[in-house]
Structure 1
Amino acid sequence: MMFRLDGQVAVVTGGSKGIGFGMAQSLGRVGATVIIASRGKDSLIQAAEQLESEGINVAYYSVDVTKKHGVQLWIEEVIRDFGRIDILINNAGKNIRKTLLDIEEEDWDTVMDTNLKGIFFVGQAVARQMIQQEYGRMINISSIFGGIGGSHQTSYAASKGGINQLTKVWAEEMATKGVTVNAIAPGYIQTPMTEGWLSNEDRYNNIVNQTMMKRVGTLADMEGPVVFLSSEASRYITGQTIYVDGGWTAK
């Protein structure tokens, strides 16, 4: 029962596709009411319909996490509609893969605005509510590239390293207020969104060869960590970044 989330409200940004959708699905399966958010309304409707078909209580909101005022209004609306926010999966993000010499200022700003500024805006707005209710589980989604180097990852790696540090700072600030803050750092995860990129045989083999378990991850591999960190089972864990990478970063 420590892993059940019945009666709890979970917000998942970037929750209509890929890893975000998979985590929303995982939380809903153990009883949480799931609120998914992203910019694209059509993808939100499709995701919500799929979750509802599994018996998951779901709502969706279209929001741009890079706009502070819009984020604040959205969180206020969620609180009016549901009364509280118990879990935040701070997941919205993007990547533009270019070398140091090729990346443009616009590329840098696009990635940092979504991956770091957006994480900050959503985290700040939700933290106010969690502190007020004296309970919360905040989970920021990082990446293996927050802790290791990798070519073509200048802005992405910088943003994910920033998320790891935000996680530690926020954990310190809210540790005595009933709120835990942790990060999940996935390696390469197979999703409908990454299938095309991973279909390159040389790229796929390179990833597998650097992974201890000799395979890429799946959405099912994310399920245990996100449910654990969202539940009472993790109540004495805060400020940590958990790598879900098949052993990549341990080599």
Structure 2
Amino acid sequence: MEFSLEDYKLDGKIALVTGATYGIGFELASALAKAGATIVFNDLKQEFVAKGIAAYKAEGIKAYGYVFDVTDESAVQAAIKQIEAEVGVIDILINNAGIIKRIPMIEMSAADFRQVVDVDLNAPFIVAKAVIPSMIEKGGGKIINICSMMSELGRETVSAYAAAKGGLKMLTKNIASEYGQYNIQCNGIGPGYIETPQTAPLRENGHPFNDFILAKTPANRWGTTYDLAGPTVFLASKASDFVNGHVLYVDGGILAYIGKQP
């Protein structure tokens, strides 16, 4: 085999990106679409799905939206069957849907802890479980789990999130171990601190958190959704067929760096 840029193209592929009506999920799905993939996404309510379809249309992308809860196994199984019937078998799954609750551990209820783990860890298991049988039958597939630097690090107030994302890292490795023999590659992407509308107030010059992030990042800047696009397309494409069980941290070097001396 010879190297070819064609290996990065996703023409004819169907990609399901959970929770991709806005934010990072929307940007990742848009990148896959620009590489040729057909986009399918979900949300909890029809009104959110409608807004998502309109947002994709504004970008020149025809996307298919479905209403289902990623933590509800029976709903997920039914939705995947419907997607397969109406759009086609899913070639690429991005487990993007997630939540975070910033609460000190001793103040956090077990119910809140369970909810975060349910969305951030149990749901990727549920959705992956639903798509893998058809991937096996089709001869392969790609699963990308959106992990986090909290898959490796701890920080105040994010005990549930860190526990879930650490578990997601190991789920990623185990899916790769169990289903690599079927030409299914399961990898993760761990975003660093990314510029989004939600982080805009924190990124103002002179804000203590902005100073903190810049001091911890060798790249000396926040990441952008563009920084996540290339890694996503790579892990979704034929070019990554021998990459399995890996978490690609797109963090500007934070995890490699102890930080500037005060």
TM-score, normalised with respect to structure 2: 0.92
Query: Residue 62 of structure 2 corresponds to which residue in structure 1?
Result: 57
Post-superposition shift, 1:40? Answer: 3.5
Counterpart residue number, 2:246: 240
**Separation in structure 2 between the aligned mates of residue 105 and residue 196 of structure 1, nearest angstrom:** 31
Query: Which residue pairs with 2:105 in the alignment?
Result: 100
User: Which residue does the alignment assign to 2:234?
Assistant: 228
The structure number with the bigger radius of gyration is 2
AA matched with 2:237: S
Larger mean CA deviation between 37-46 and 74-83 belongs to 37-46
Q: 1:189 aligns with which of 194, 206, 223?
A: 194
* 8 A contact 1:116–1:160 mirrored in 2: yes
Task: Give CA-to-partner distance per residue, 1:131-184, whole Å, 9 cap, x none.
Answer: 111110100110000011111110000000000000111001111101100000
- Distance apart, 1:102 and its partner CA: 1.5
Identity across the alignment (%):
37
Q: How does 1:131-170 map to 2 (within 5 A)?
A: 131-170=136-175
1: CA distance, partners of 2:223 / 2:111: 31
Where structure 2 has 5 or more consecutive residues not aligned to the other structure, the ranges are 1-5, 258-262
Q: Secondary structure at the match of 1:176?
A: helix
Q: How does 1:106-145 map to 2 (within 5 A)?
A: 106-145=111-150
Aligned partner letter, 2:187:
N
Contact 1:10 1:86 in 2 (8 A): yes
Verify the 8 A CA contact 1:18 1:193 in the aligned structure 2.
no
Structure 1 residues 40 and 196: CA distance shift in structure 2, 3 A? farther
Give the aligned length. Answer: 251
Counterparts in 2 of 1:197 and 1:116: CA distance versus 1, 3 Å: farther
Give, in whole Å, the separation in 1 of the partners of 2:198 and 2:139.
Answer: 37
1:6 is aligned to 2:6 = no
Mean Cα deviation higher: 121-130 or 198-207: 198-207
What is the aligned-residue RMSD (CA, Å)? 1.4
Name the structure 2 match of 1:207.
213
Q: Does residue 72 of structure 2 align to residue 47 of structure 1?
A: no
Partner of 2:75: 70
Partner amino acid, structure 1, of 2:196: T
Query: Does structure 2 conserve the Cα–Cα contact (< 8 Å) formed by 1:146 and 1:160?
Result: yes
Q: Which moved more, 1:94-103 or 1:197-206?
A: 197-206
Offset of residue 196 of structure 1: 4.4
> Which ranges of structure 1 fall in alignment gaps of 5 or more residues?
none
CA contact (8 A) 1:143 1:160 kept: yes
Q: 76, 81, 90: which one pairs with 1:85?
A: 90
Q: What is the DSSP-based 3-state SS (H/G/I as helix, E as strand, rest coil) of the residue aligned with 1:193?
A: helix
Partner of 1:217: 223
- The answer for the alignment partner of 2:3 in structure 1 is none
Which one-letter code corresponds to 1:83 in the other structure? Answer: G
SS at match of 1:130: helix
